[in-house]
Amino acid sequence: MKRVVLAYSGGLDTSVIVRWLTERGYEVITYTADVGQGEELSEIPQKAKASGAVEAVVEDVREEFAREYCLPTLRALALYEGKYPLTASLSRPLISKKLVELAKKFNANYVAHGSTGKGNDQVRFELSVWALDPDIEVIAPVREWEFRAREEQVEYAKKHNIPVKVTKEKPYSIDRNLWGVSIECGPLEDPWQEPPEDAYQITTSPEKAPDDPEYITLTFKEGVPAALNGKEYKKLSELIEDLNAIAGRHGVGRIDMVENRLVGIKSREIYEAPGASVLYEAYRDLLSLTVDRFTFHYFLTHVPHEYAKMVYEGLWFTPLREALDAFTSTLAKLVTGEVRLKLFKGSVSVVGRRSENSLYVEDLATYSEKDAFDHKAGKLFTQVWGLPLKVLGRRRKGS
Ligand code: ARG
């Protein structure tokens, strides 16, 4: 018997996939992860089995997702093309890892996913699976099957008694987890058109956000967000969820961009990442306070862009990612302290910071009478530092 573990969301596509695989002689085991998509998953097993699955596994992986995927990405300050906090990209390696584990457990030689042939997710799933077990074969029915329109899938589902919710279809394709929401398709496909308000899932529009700013304090312990407004969190996932709610109310974390997909297409996508946006601002600020200039500049030059590309391009399970994590973990040890932030009508700004590891020295920075900086040293330093330009200037002047 050919056995396959399928990444299953419970939506129309993956429900149809269960049946489609069954018809082709596969025994299907479904895997559904709670990554904080905010959906009720209790009916998933029943639904999967009604579609033809022999076994349905549902697992809450929110904390693992937060600690092992979101946190390292935060510490790298990774934003794809300078903007996208990699929300959807990050859940794929985690889900792939689980698929491989289940394939071992159930003696399956195949895993399957519901991604299309023109997106990034197929690449992330497949590269992650192969990095963990190259002998597993990956099946992507959506790339192969005969259905062209959604109606044909609904028709097929009805014919085979696959439970589908007959809700009016939203024009958007939405991928949501703890770290944020990715939204594409429908009216968003015109990059000139402003996203309709109903495209946004977890943020209030800045226009409708409260007229008064809200101040919050985030506490970090060795690079881990540990408390929000003085309240300690054992679970990082819960802190992120609470932060999403607070910052979301103020319209923080909306991102609208045209991005370069791996397969060569430019696509317009919008994102909502209220909690992540606040954490990025706060982490960056505390890092710049506690890390010396040489290290901070090296980090900024070499890590955020490279790390973001790796996550986006499906290279999570690589020694390079692990090595960069080792680097950012070393810096993270210094990131202890508090950051005060102001949330107001779509914006988040750091308004205060303090740390026991702070390298800010008031006596050196001040322009008051307490000034302890040796201004004569400034003169000599400038002479030496500027020497090459003086020489260049002479040459240009022809003297
Ligand atoms: N473009 C984003 C990425 O490649 C999100 C993909 C999933 N988005 C979606 N709306 N289904 O990571």
Residue pointed to by tokens 């300690």: 232
Q: How far away, in angstroms, is 73 Cα from ligand 1 center?
A: 17
Q: Which long-range contacts (CB under 8 A, 24 or more apart) does 360-369 make?
A: 360/289
Atom number of ligand 1 nearest to Cα 88: 12
CATH 3.40.190.10 correct for 173-291+334-354: no
- The residue ranges of every structural domain in the chain are 2-60+88-159, 173-291+334-354, 362-397
Determine what percent of the chain is predicted with pLDDT higher than 90. 96
For ligand 1, atom 4: residue with the closest CA: 120
Considering just the CA atoms, what is the radius of gyration of the chain in Å? 25
Atom number of ligand 1 nearest to Cα 86: 12
- Residues near ligand 1 with C-beta < 6 Å? 88-89, 120, 173-175, 182-184, 269
pLDDT value, residue 150: 85
| pLDDT tens readout for residues 310-326 | 999 999 999 999 999 99
120, 270, 313, best to mutate for ligand 1 pocket (most atoms within 8 Å of CB): 120
Q: CA 342 to CA 207: how far, in whole Å?
A: 17
Environment class of residue 125 by beta-carbon count within 10 Å: exposed (0-12), middle (13-18) or buried (19+)? buried
Fold of 362-397: 1.20.5
35, 83, 184, best to mutate for ligand 1 pocket (most atoms within 8 Å of CB): 184
Q: How far away, in angstroms, is 85 Cα from ligand 1 center?
A: 11
User: Cα–Cα–Cα angle for 292, 297, 302, nearest 5°?
Assistant: 130
Atom number of ligand 1 nearest to Cα 261: 4
pLDDT value, residue 164: 82
Atom number of ligand 1 nearest to Cα 259: 1
Q: CA 50 to CA 59: how far, in whole Å?
A: 19
CB distance 247 to 299 below 8 Å: no
CATH 3.40.50.620 correct for 2-60+88-159: yes
pLDDT value, residue 167: 66
pLDDT value, residue 166: 63
| pLDDT tens readout for residues 96-111 | 999 999 999 999 999 9
Q: Enumerate the active-site residues.
A: 13, 92, 121, 173
Longest dimension (CA), the chain: 90
User: Cα–Cα–Cα angle for 308, 313, 317, nearest 5°?
Assistant: 90
121, 176, 261, 316, best to mutate for ligand 1 pocket (most atoms within 8 Å of CB): 121
Report residue 360 CA to chain centroid gap. Answer: 31
361 CB-near residues (< 8 Å, 6+ apart): none
pLDDT value, residue 223: 98
For ligand 1, atom 1: residue with the closest CA: 269
Per-residue pLDDT of the chain (399 residues; tens, 9 = 90+): 899 999 999 999 999 999 999 999 999 999 999 999 999 999 999 999 999 999 999 999 999 999 999 999 999 999 999 999 999 999 999 999 999 999 999 999 999 999 999 999 999 999 999 999 999 999 999 999 999 888 899 999 999 999 887 666 789 999 999 999 999 999 999 999 999 999 999 999 999 999 999 999 999 999 999 999 999 999 999 999 999 999 999 999 999 999 999 999 999 999 999 999 999 999 999 999 999 999 999 999 999 999 999 999 999 999 999 999 999 999 999 999 999 999 999 999 999 999 999 999 999 999 999 999 999 999 999 999 999 999 999 999 997
